[in-house]
Amino acid sequence: MDAYTIETRHGAGVYAKQPISIVRGQGALLFDAEGNAYLDCTSGHGVANLGHAHPRVAAAIADQAQRLITLFETYPNDQRAALMLKLTSLTPGLDRVFFCNSGAEAVEASLKFSRLSTGRKRILAAKRAFHGRTYGALSATFAARYRQGFEPLVPEIEHVSYNDPEALEEAMNENVAAVILEVVQGEGGIYPATPQYLETARRLCDQYDALLIFDEIQSGFGRTGKMFAYQHYGIQPDMLTCAKSLAGGVPMGAVLLGERVRNLAPGVHGSTFGGNPLSCAAALAAIQAIQEEDLPRQAAEKGAYLMERLRRLPSPLIREVRGLGLMIGIELKRKVAPYLRALQAQRVLALNAGMNVLRLLPPLVITYEQLDWLLQALAEVLQRDLEESDA
């Protein structure tokens, strides 16, 4: 039996399996068991910012695996200490780090730290937000399709309109522990925050002594044209959650903490695998590669190239193109699922963001020739569907 048959039979059933078995990756390409190449514009939901099988990350993993793989954070370690220094150097004002294994875990930790730090319970999140699927993270996630069947969720987490400063001001009071926001909403449709919205959030959190959490799990590590998306705005969070591309594909998450986060004593939270030496070595190599290859600049320039040409596509099916760097959403006037299938038939892999937004998260190492491949495939798919609809 092939991998598709085995996984369909023995998997838990919570994933819609695609009928291709991917066995290898290189840069922005993935290869199936027959050797066919696919252009990866998903990056594993934003994980592979460095592309696949980056030699620096692979070498770091192999070297560290021969020395020490796991070590609980009670015992200091050279790789973990070096990564703490590296991360805090990238985010001035956030000078402490909690390590975990995923974005959802990072969000869970940030919510716990908020309540512990302030002594309050109420947390404000945004409509259309996606913060993860574990109970705390799911409670901050907005869409009903993720929440249904799992209620009751964590109480006193409420949602207000995104990019609506007035709505945030109306909801804010002295009982709020934290406001958690994606700087660029990903799953919700690729909506960058407006400067006024983030400025209002920062002002209100200062006014009410609440904490401001920026979720950069998908937008971090060069994706938007800066190392972190909040750096486009010059607005400082009290906590920053990150994961996905942090360790070049190895599972890892982190919460970066500012001075307003208080009351964190031994035993209030923890993670068995968080900050293990293998993940830390991979993360150090990944961040070094991002910096040395100047991938934030590449993301800014390639993103501008791609969005400008997407906006020039002569298709009446496109309602809007929006995004930041190489985090791009194409809002269509029809449901997006058939177009994702048609692109896959052209050996281009992309994502949805809701029912009618085609989401593009290519590796930051994607070439301009590969971007042109994507543009040509998308133009053909849109034109063919339009012609078939008119026939």
E strand or H helix at 321, and its extent?
Answer: strand 318-324
Question: Residue 192's pLDDT is what?
Answer: 98
Question: Residue 391's pLDDT is what?
Answer: 55
Considering the domain delimited by 55-292, tell me its CATH architecture: 3-Layer(aba) Sandwich (3.40)
Token duo for residue 25 = 């990756």
User: 3-state DSSP call for residue 208?
Assistant: coil
Buried b (16+ CB within 10 A) or exposed e, 215-245: bbbbbbbbbbbbbbbbbbbebbbbbbbbbbb
pLDDT digits (tens, 9 = 90+) for 182-240: 999 999 999 999 999 999 999 999 999 999 999 999 999 999 999 999 999 999 999 99
pTM over 0.85: yes
CA distances from 18 to 7, 26, 28, 268 (A): 10, 20, 19, 41
Question: Residue 384's pLDDT is what?
Answer: 85
| 330 beta partners | 321, 358
Question: Residue 1's pLDDT is what?
Answer: 81
- For the chain, where do the domains classified as CATH 3.90.1150.10 start and end? 3-53+294-390
| CA pair distance 287, 60, nearest whole angstrom | 12
Question: Residue 107's pLDDT is what?
Answer: 98
CA 341 from chain center: how many Å? 23
- For the chain, where do the domains classified as CATH 3.40.640.10 start and end? 55-292
Token duo for residue 259 = 């001075």
Question: Residue 388's pLDDT is what?
Answer: 72
Q: Which residues of the chain are under the pLDDT cut of 50?
A: none
Q: What percent of the chain has pLDDT over 70?
A: 99
Could you tell me which residues come within 8 angstroms of residue 109 by beta carbon, excluding any fewer than 6 positions away?
Answer: 98, 100, 241, 255, 269
Question: Residue 219's pLDDT is what?
Answer: 98
Question: Residue 98's pLDDT is what?
Answer: 98
pLDDT digits (tens, 9 = 90+) for 66-97: 999 999 999 999 999 999 999 999 999 999 99
- Per CATH, the homologous superfamily of domain 3-53+294-390 is Aspartate Aminotransferase, domain 1 (3.90.1150.10)
